[in-house]
Amino acid sequence: MTRRLLSVVPTVLGVVFLVCAFLRAIPGDPVEIMLGESAAPADVASMRHALGLDRPLAVELPAFAGRLVRGDLGDSIAFRAPVRSVIAARLPATLLLAVAALLLAVAVALPAGTIAALRPGSLVDRAARLLSLAGVAVPSIVLGPLLMLVFAVTLRWLPISGAGTPAHLVLPAVTLALGMIGVLTRLTRTAMLDALAADHLRTARAKGAPPWRVVLVHALGTALPPVATVVGLQAGALLAGAIVTETIFGWPGVGRLVVQAIGARDYPLVQGCVLTIGLTYVSVNLATDLLLALLDPRLRDAP
C-alpha cells in the first residue's frame, strides 16, 4: 500500500509539468492571442511575466509548483477573479453530476450484469448485451440532444437545461451514465460467469448454501474486484465526459467552464481547470487502489 501512495508522486509531478508547459505548447504567442494584436507592448510584457513565459521552463516549473502548494492558480482574465475561486464555485456542480451518474451506472449495471450471467443465452441476457452495446456505441454528443428532444421538448417531463432542482439533474446524469452502464454491464456479466464456474462455488452449493448466498456473497464477492477497478477508472473519466454533457445541458460545472475559458482565450483558467480534472482523476484512481486492497487481501502486498 505504501508503494501505491508513493507511485502517485511522479504522476502528480507529471500532471503539474504538463499543465505548466501547456501555454508554451500553444502555436504562436499565447499572450498576443489573449490580449489581441493591438495590445500595448507594456501590457504584453506584463502578462508574459505574470504567466512565467519570460522565464525558461526549468526555472518556471519549481515556481509554478510552489504557487500550487499555496493554492495560487493565477487570475482569470475573463472573470477578473482568482482562478481558484472561479473553479471552486463550479466544482460542486460537476461533482454532483459525476456522483449521480456513477451511482446510477452502478445501480443499473450490477443487477443487469448479474441477472444476465445467471441466465446465459436467455432473452434477458441478449437484451442486456444489446443495451450495453448501444450504451457504449452512442456518444454523449448524440445521446444528449436525443434525450433532450424526447423528454424535454416533446414530452415536457424534464427541464431542457440549467440547474437548481433535482429534475435538472436527470437528463445530464443519464447521458453521462449510459456509456458507463454499457461497460459495467458487460464486465459484470463476464466476471459473474467466471465466478459462477469457480470451484469454491460448487463447494458452497454442495454444502447446502442457499442460492441467494451463493450468488450475492460468494459469486458477487469474487466478481467485485475487477468491476471495482473499472468503476474507479470510469469515475475519473466521468470528469472528462462531463465537458460535453455540461455544455449540451448548460450545467454550470467545471466541464462547461473549460469550454467557456477556451472561447474567451482565458488560458490561465484553462490551465486551472485541466489541472483540477487531472488531479481529481489521480485521486480517484488512488482511492480505487486502496479500496481494492481492502476488498481483496491478496492485493495489499502486491507491487
Q: 55 in the Ramachandran plot: left (φ > 0), alpha (ψ -120 to 50) or beta?
A: beta
Q: Which tens digits make up the pLDDT trace of 15-65?
A: 888 877 776 777 666 776 677 767 777 877 887 777 777 777 777 788 878
Query: For 123-176, how does the pLDDT look when each residue is reduced to its tens digit (9 = 90+)?
Result: 888 888 888 888 888 888 888 889 989 998 888 888 888 888 889 999 999 998
Mean pLDDT across the chain: 81
Looking at residue 297, its pLDDT comes to: 60
pLDDT value at 289 more than 70 = yes
Global pTM reads: 0.81
Largest CA distance in the chain: 83
Q: What is the pLDDT of residue 171?
A: 92
Burial zone of 70 (CB within 10 Å; 0-12 exposed, 13-18 middle, 19+ buried): exposed
Q: 300: pLDDT confidence band, cut at 50, 70 and 90?
A: low
Distance of CA 180 to the CA centre of its chain: 11
CA 250, CA 192: separation in Å to the nearest integer?
A: 39
